[in-house]
Structure 1
Amino acid sequence: MQVLVIGAGVIGLATARAAALAGHDVIVAEQASAIGTGISSRNSEVIHAGMYYPTGSVRARMCVRGNRMLYAFCEARGVPHRRCGKFIVATNDAERTRIEAIAEQGRINGVEGLEIIGGNAARDLEPELSCIAALVSPTTGIIDGHGYMLALQGDLEAHGGAIAFETPVERLAPGLHGWRVTFGGREPGHLDVDAVVNCAGLSAQAVARNIEGYPATRIPKQVLAKGNYFAYAGRPAFTRLIYPTPVDGGLGVHVTLDLAGRMRFGPDVEWIDRETYDVDAQRAASFYARIRTYWPALPDGSLVPDYAGIRPKLTGPGEPAADFMIEGPAEHGMAGLINLFGIESPGLTSSLALAELVVSHLDA
């Protein structure tokens, strides 16, 4: 089967790799000139454990399975990563109740090794931390996201797949035996394929609107939630990732570490109506206030605007968080077509498991 995957971000690359390993003839169409230039290059590069998501949700299932698959992949392929663990901290009794509920949800979801410890025990491990309790997640880690995507690309190409850069998909039309794809870009033209997987991230809804005959009612709304990051100008104060309790639209302004040993904070949640990646230095005031609830010693003037990413959400402020949305023939009635909508965090962690799921639909 000839399969076209739209988008060479982490989800598209993982899906294309899985399809190639399953014996399909795979082409990836990417509108940019390189892999992973969108959501995949503007996140925390965290390997999530899976304790936040509702029982039985696609997010919960894909994150927990994807976590295990991702560690195994990194170890087998030599992708830089570190299983550093994380604390979700409670600074008052209400937050303690919240982390107890998160711990229970994690156990239901099959997350391994979760444990709640008291404030003194947390400070023994992270002396700069201020909290009354912490949920310890030993299977949370960090990864070199670009190194991971390069490894996925390498596997894809080693199994006969290819990526066509600067190749935006302008139209998809059902054909006699699959799909007629119309491309723009430097070398516009047409291609006939048996199946199409839309992994276009922030552009997924736009791609779906260009599918001839696709039910418009099945295209979900897209809500953009910008996440800003601030770098820390001094030496790292923590050896683990430190998370507050979640907030509306995200997991709260947390401590992230990278494999080079640098510490940064973010992301926050800024609801926006268009793509923009500038970080407003004035947002630092809210960062200082939130961070000092768990790290009172954060020095004045130590936060520097770093970068921003955009989450392609399906729900907006005050609405319950939507699950990952995977629309195949069983949902929309069009053979050989799978659309992925709203694949935000924990998309990177879930990528190998999501790819496995999508290819199982192709092979059905």
Structure 2
Amino acid sequence: MDRVDAVVIGAGVVGLAVARALALSGRETLVLEQESAIGTGVSARNSEVIHAGLYYPTGSLRARLCVAGRDRLYAYCTERGVGHRRSGKLVVAIDARQRVELAALQARAAANGVPGLQWLEREQLRMLEPVLEAEAGFLSPATGIVDSHALMLALQGDLETAGGMVAVASKVHRIDAARGPGGAHVLLSGDSELAAAVVVNAAGLGAIGLAGRVSGSPPAPGYAAPVEPTRFAKGNYFSLALRSPFSRLIYPLPEPGGLGVHLTLDLGGRARFGPDVEWIERGPDGGFDYRVDPARAPAFEAAVRRWWPGLPAGVLQPDYSGVRPKLVGPGEPAPDFRIDGPAAHGWPGLVHLLGIESPGLTASLALADEVLSML
């Protein structure tokens, strides 16, 4: 049986960041990715925003790792020449009733360690973005955008320079935590087996299911393996078939299940709106339908016109969609990131990264540090 020091399951941005950190720590590291290329799942289907840390409960993993990861990510992108920009973001209250909620969000962001927040009234918002219509808002200058694929290529390059490698088309079906030599885990992928002293489950949408397929000696008393939801949150995006009149990201206040239909800009200045929240089920083949239904355009137009009433009719085009690895179903409050390490389940060297949705991209380098600290 072949053996390596460490295996990371999943070659998305978080998996590659973790694998890079393991390789730089001196471990022989292998990444197993079920698709034919890196970063084709959650990491390729998001807003590509570097979040500042506004939304998450103070003291939560999401808040702490977002703030730490934000600063690490800006520094890494500058060092490695990865395309990014500190575009800034305006979070806005559509009417007077939302002012209290907006002020509470700004206070939480400040408590989380977000720098440079600036409250703006209606006329001040118009000076920054003339077509924006809102009662009030605040500016987050620490928010930005990044070329997520270039980031993943840079992480993969660092991993390989440190002696690690990525194996694509390598699906892991289950983990045996008891059979390996020296207490190592045995990963079963097809008809092959591989032993590793360290296994990190960063499989994105497949991570929860895989965490429930760990066999071996009983886990720690009281540990409950996660249960994969029966429904998944799909987020659809529409692009603007015009030159964007905005120079910053525009976000309404969050809504249940997500951050609301907001405007993001890519590095070329192209405007995209989304995501919305559409609860779906896996298809018969276990996959997801990523098609964007053009019939959703009127709802997008209505959402955008709440803060951009001058949006012309018929200029939103179906773009792409993503599915978020939710730990809960519709109507349930958003949980924190779930990182199950040896202290939780009792299996040495095994870490599950579960429910790593937004701000997972921003937090990726800090998440890698968190995993190393558990090992």
Q: TM-score range by the shorter chain?
A: over 0.9
The alpha carbon displacement at 1:349 in A equals 0.2
Mean Cα deviation higher: 303-312 or 275-284 = 275-284
Unaligned runs of 5+ in 2: 283-287
Taking the TM superposition and a 5 Å limit, the aligned residue runs for 1:309-348 are 309-348=322-361
TM-score between both structures, scaled by the size of structure 1: 0.96
* Distance of 2:126 and 2:88 partners within structure 1: 15
The alpha carbon displacement at 1:316 in A equals 2.1
Aligned positions, number: 359
* Distance of 2:164 and 2:261 partners within structure 1: 39
TM-score between both structures, scaled by the size of structure 2: 0.94
Mean Cα deviation higher: 71-80 or 272-281 = 272-281
* Distance of 1:83 and 1:230 partners within structure 2: 23
1:291-323 CA distance string (max 9 Å, x none) = 001000000000010000001111222211110
**Counterpart in the other structure of 1:104:** 107
**Counterpart in the other structure of 1:90:** 93
**Counterpart in the other structure of 2:285:** none
Find runs of 4+ consecutive structure 1 residues off by over 6 angstroms: none
* Distance of 2:326 and 2:174 partners within structure 1: 24
**Counterpart in the other structure of 2:237:** 229
Q: Is the 8 A contact 2:209 2:227 kept in 1?
A: no
Q: Is the 8 A contact 2:36 2:168 kept in 1?
A: yes
1:13-60 CA distance string (max 9 Å, x none) = 000001111111100000111100100000000000001000110000
1:49-74 CA distance string (max 9 Å, x none) = 00100011000000011000000000
Mean Cα deviation higher: 248-257 or 313-322 = 313-322
* Distance of 2:302 and 2:107 partners within structure 1: 29
Match of 1:32 among 27, 31, 35: 35
* Distance of 1:281 and 1:84 partners within structure 2: 29
Q: Secondary structure at the match of 2:108?
A: helix
Q: Is the 8 A contact 2:236 2:292 kept in 1?
A: yes
Aligned-pair identity (%): 55
**Counterpart in the other structure of 1:126:** 129
Match of 1:75 among 38, 58, 78: 78
**Counterpart in the other structure of 2:275:** 267
Q: Is the 8 A contact 2:212 2:225 kept in 1?
A: no
Q: Secondary structure at the match of 2:214?
A: coil
* Distance of 1:359 and 1:124 partners within structure 2: 46
**Counterpart in the other structure of 2:146:** 143
* Distance of 2:168 and 2:20 partners within structure 1: 16
Q: Is the 8 A contact 2:339 2:354 kept in 1?
A: yes
- Aligned-residue RMSD, C-alpha: 1.2
Taking the TM superposition and a 5 Å limit, the aligned residue runs for 1:187-226 are 188-213=191-216, 217-222=224-229, 223-226=231-234
Match of 2:17 among 14, 17, 22: 14
1:58-104 CA distance string (max 9 Å, x none) = 00000011000000000000000000000001111222111111100
Q: Is the 8 A contact 2:181 2:195 kept in 1?
A: no
Unaligned runs of 5+ in 1: none
Instruction: In structure 2, give the amino acid aligned to 1:305.
Output: P
* Distance of 1:340 and 1:171 partners within structure 2: 15
* Distance of 2:224 and 2:81 partners within structure 1: 44
Match of 2:314 among 301, 304, 317: 301
**Counterpart in the other structure of 1:252:** 260
Q: Secondary structure at the match of 2:301?
A: helix
* Distance of 1:297 and 1:220 partners within structure 2: 45
**Counterpart in the other structure of 1:181:** 187
Q: Secondary structure at the match of 2:228?
A: coil
Q: Secondary structure at the match of 1:169?
A: coil
The alpha carbon displacement at 1:209 in A equals 2.6
Mean Cα deviation higher: 88-97 or 44-53 = 88-97
* Distance of 1:205 and 1:247 partners within structure 2: 25
